[in-house]
Amino acid sequence: MGFLNGKRILITGISSKLSIAYGIAEAMHRQQAELAFTYQNNKLKNRVEEFAKNFDSKITLQCDVSQENNIKLLFLSLSEYWSKFDGLIHSIAFAPKNQLNGDYVNKVTYEGFKIAHKISSYSFVCMVKECRMMLNPNSSLITLSYLGSKRAIPNYNVMGPAKASLEANVRYIANIIGPEGIRVNAISAGPIRTLASSGIKNFRKMLAYCERVAPLRRTVTIEEIGNLAAFLCSNLSSGITGQIIYVDGGFNIATMNEL
Ligand code: NAD
Ligand code: 0WE
């Protein structure tokens, strides 16, 4: 029997088979979780419906987190299938393309800063706010972060402050919702080729750099992220909350490995 048997988990952020959220769905399906999915817009509707079938799920719901009332409606619609559920995967980030290149101080705009924080950080606490009453005890909430929250990484720019905000959000949500028996954690993933990273300047060089410098001397896969997410949604991780857990081959703990 899978260690997620009987758990109902809502997964956001699938837009292709490369998506980190897709790797999470695969790992959770393998452990016999019951899954539901959201898609950002109608362009993605058919694709996500096909993916859902592969995971034996009939539940696919539209949700663009830039519209706060979309998030409210999402959980109203979900409640027609599930009155209560056990986990939420937030795998969503966005900043306007022109913000992710060049001199941070010159390029940042209030509009870019606002959008990055709204979509990549506020949306997480907003989703928690709207589904809180539907969460069973022992539920687990997970978001995806990146080392750019703690270290200044070229071109990550305004997404760095947005991920720092997301990680602080994890701690504040965990502290408030813990007494309800609900756990909240972030997975900080190393760089992985997905739609969100494919257009990034020097992304290939960044992958190669990680292969040279990370203790494991390789990059990580969406399967490896998925396996941690499955563990974090299971009762095997019952004592873990408020944490930022790295799945990056150890990259974040090393330095001077190039010497
Ligand atoms: P992806 O492009 O597959 O997923 C990003 C998702 O965000 C997409 O499915 C997209 O539909 C969704 N999204 C964007 N704006 C949205 C909105 N307004 N409403 C609803 N959904 C919206 O890329 P990914 O790499 O799988 O990214 C998932 C998460 O992982 C992000 O939080 C990202 O920051 C994080 N992450 C990625 C990497 C990497 O190198 N790929 C590393 C660390 C963390
Ligand atoms: O969080 C991310 C990517 C987030 C992202 C990606 C895009 C591309 C398309 C946010 N907004 C947009 N907007 C778009 O228009 N990652 C962790 C992947 C990533 O992105 C980088 C990286 C890494 C790693 C950008 C610069 C430097 C490194």
Query: Residue whose CA is closest, atom 41 of ligand 1?
Result: 192
Counting atoms of ligand 2 from 1, which one is nearest the CA of 120?
10
* Angle formed by the axes of helices 222-233 and 20-30, nearest 10°: 50
Strand partners, 238: none
Q: Quote the CA–CA distance of 61 and 73 in Å, as a whole number.
A: 10
Is 67 flagged in the annotation as binding?
Answer: no
Closest listed residue to residue 21, CA positions, set 47, 43, 3, 58: 47
Q: Which domains does the chain have, with CATH numbers?
A: 8-247 (3.40.50.720)
Whether 172 sits among the annotated catalytic residues: the reply is: no
CA of 196 to the centre of ligand 1 (A): 6
Query: What is the model's pLDDT at position 259?
Result: 84
Cβ proximity of 163 and 120 under 8 Å: yes
Closest listed residue to residue 179, CA positions, set 139, 123, 131, 119: 139
Query: Residue whose CA is closest, atom 6 of ligand 1?
Result: 13
DSSP string, 74-138: HHHHHTTT-SSEEEEEE------GGGSSS-HHHH--HHHHHHHHIIIIIHHHHHHHHHGGGEEEE
Helix (H) or strand (E) holding 36: strand 34-39
CA of 159 to the centre of ligand 1 (A): 12
Query: What is the model's pLDDT at position 198?
Result: 85
Closest listed residue to residue 82, CA positions, set 135, 142, 137: 135
Determine whether the shortest distance from the Cβ of 91 to ligand 1 is under 6 A: yes
Query: What is the model's pLDDT at position 199?
Result: 86
Query: What is the model's pLDDT at position 170?
Result: 99
Strand partners, 90: 143
Residue 26 tokens read as: 């695969």
Query: What is the model's pLDDT at position 258?
Result: 86
Determine whether the shortest distance from the Cβ of 254 to ligand 2 is under 6 A: no
Query: Residue whose CA is closest, atom 7 of ligand 2?
Result: 196
- 155-179 pLDDT per residue, tens: 999 999 999 999 999 999 999 999 9
Cβ proximity of 95 and 162 under 8 Å: yes
Among the bound ligands, the one closest to the CA of 15: 1
Cβ proximity of 147 and 188 under 8 Å: yes
State the 10-residue block means of pLDDT for the chain, 259 residues long.
97 98 98 98 98 98 96 98 98 97 97 98 98 98 98 98 99 98 99 92 95 98 98 98 99 94
CA dihedral sign, ordered 44, 75, 30, 25: positive
Q: What is the pTM of this model?
A: 0.98
